[in-house]
Structure 1
Amino acid sequence: MKLRKTLAAVLLAAVVPVAAACGTTAEAASATSSTSTSASADSSTTDSSTDSSTETSTDTGGPGGGMGQGGGPGGIDVSSVTTEDQLVELIQEAYGEAGLGLHRGHQPVEDVLDEVLTISHDELHVRMDAGQNLAAVAEDLGIDPQTLVDALVAKYSPAIDTLLADGTINQDEADQYLAALEDAFSFRVTWDGEEATPTFSGLDV
């Protein structure tokens, strides 16, 4: 019985992060729930501490810590940004997660990738598994990588416009945030698989 529970936990640890990175967090959570239920049903002595650790393993939050959907698993929704702190967090999130491989977790930008690259999700994975970053994929398809960066920036920049419109930031600060957002997505698109992810903590005062 212990072997079944151990196998379920191992499978869970392998499947959930990948599923979350690809925008299938809900399906992964559902599969996790059924796996946990199945493991519990096979065992007459369910250890409650094991169950709680299994449940928490479905939390794949990244920068953003569960502040809405649309910015990635646990990420910030662009349309919900109302403070400068959230904007800073959104820009940090634009760099992506190195632990998720070359695509750095493309859930928050999947629509843009579909529109600009015009290839299937599966083909993108095949290319990245072969060692191509987003810039290389774009170039292979005859697309200027800057076109992809610009499209990604356009997806996130409404958060800057919102704070500018309500007076939270001024035009000069908005321009600086826009430049920081472009830097973040440029890094993401051209990431070589090794360079450390920069930390964005806000504008220099």
Structure 2
Amino acid sequence: MKLRKTLAAVLLAAAVPVAAACGTTAEAASTTTSSTSSSATSDSSTTETADTGGPGGAMGGGGPGGVDVSSVTTEEQLVELIQEAYGDAGLDLHRGHQPVQDVLDEVLTISHDELHVRMDAGQNLVAVAEDLGIDPQTLIDALVAKYGPAIDTLLAAGTITEDEAEQYRAALEEAFSFRVNWDGEEATPTFTGLDA
């Protein structure tokens, strides 16, 4: 019985980070998992908290992430948002679907579960799109459009110039192109802002 409980705790500990990363349950990003081991005379519990991802908390739309697109008010937050667009290499090919699942659902027209099946089989987002007869650039454009309002907000506020806005849009497209085409091997670039 003790072996079963230990094995169940290990399996649960391995599954929770993926569930949290995918936002597959409402509780996944903030759930704590407990494993209990029993001995003849006592019970002890260990609690681990799932990592919810990057800086700034959860992204609008759920899942791990950093800056909420609708709350970007500084250039520093915009830089974080563009870095986030590269995805999280720690999630393997699953780096590609959170926190932008709604865009993927709309463009790819497959379920979240089907996307998991394809990614678990080794397909990246470009392979999924091509397999479904969708131009990968359509997917990249839709992802850029999801994050683009953050650039527009800073431009309208006078925080950045039109030229800087175009440079940020190009950086965002480069980041999402990397994410969609990522093969699981290449190191994630670091975006630290525009070159002066």
Regarding TM over 0.5, the answer is yes
2:2–2:38 Cα contact (<8 Å) kept? no
**2:124 is equivalent to residue 127 of structure 1:** no
Deviations 1:2-57 (A, max 9, x none): 86875565234312211022113533367x54x53x7389985546xx44xx2xx3
Contact 1:83 1:163 in 2 (8 A): yes
In structure 1, the residue matched to 2:175 is 184
Q: Which amino acid is 1:90 matched to?
A: L
Alpha-carbon shift at residue 80 of structure 1 (Å) = 0.8
Number of corresponding residues: 195
Q: Residue 39 of structure 1 aligns with which residue?
A: 36
**Maintained 8 Å contact 1:71/1:93:** no
Alpha carbons of structure 1 residues 28 and 171: separation in structure 2 relative to 1, 3 Å: same
**Is structure 2 residue 136 aligned with structure 1 residue 145?**
yes
1:175/1:72 CA distance change after superposition, 3 Å:
farther
Percent identity of the aligned residues?
83
* Contact 2:82–2:172 (8 Å) recurs in 1: yes
1:10-25 equivalences in 2 (<5 Å) = 10-24=10-24
Structure that is richer in helix per residue? 1
Alpha-carbon distance in structure 2 between the residues aligned to 1:131 and 1:174: 35
TM-score, scaled relative to structure 1: 0.83
Deviations 1:112-169 (A, max 9, x none): 1111110111111111122211111111111100000000000000000001111111
Contact map agreement 1:87 1:159 (CA 8 A) in 2: yes
Secondary structure of residue in 2 paired with 1:27: coil
Distance change >3 Å, CA 71–CA 187, structure 1 → 2: farther
Aligned equivalents of 2:58 and 2:126: distance in 1? Answer: 29
Q: Tell me the residue number matched to 2:28.
A: 28
Q: Which runs of 5+ in 2 are unaligned?
A: none
Distance (whole Å) between structure 2 residues aligned to residue 45 and residue 129 of structure 1: 37
Unaligned runs of at least 5 residues, structure 1: none
Q: Aligned-pair RMSD on alpha carbons?
A: 2.7
CA distance in 1, matches of 2:107, 2:57: 28
Q: Which amino acid aligns with 1:110?
A: Q
| Amino acid paired to 2:36 | A
Task: Say which structure is richer in strand.
Answer: 2
Kept in 1: contact 2:29–2:64 (CA 8 A): no
1-structure distance, mates of 2:17, 2:192? 26
85, 91, 102: which one aligns with 2:82: 91
**Contact 1:81 1:159 (C-alpha < 8 Å) held by counterparts:** yes
For residues 62 and 172 of structure 2, the distance between their equivalents in structure 1, rounded to whole angstroms, comes to: 14
Higher mean C-alpha displacement, 146-155 vs 129-138: 129-138
The one-letter amino acid of 1:26's match is A
**TM-score, normalised relative to structure 2:** 0.86
* Equivalent residue letter for 2:118: R
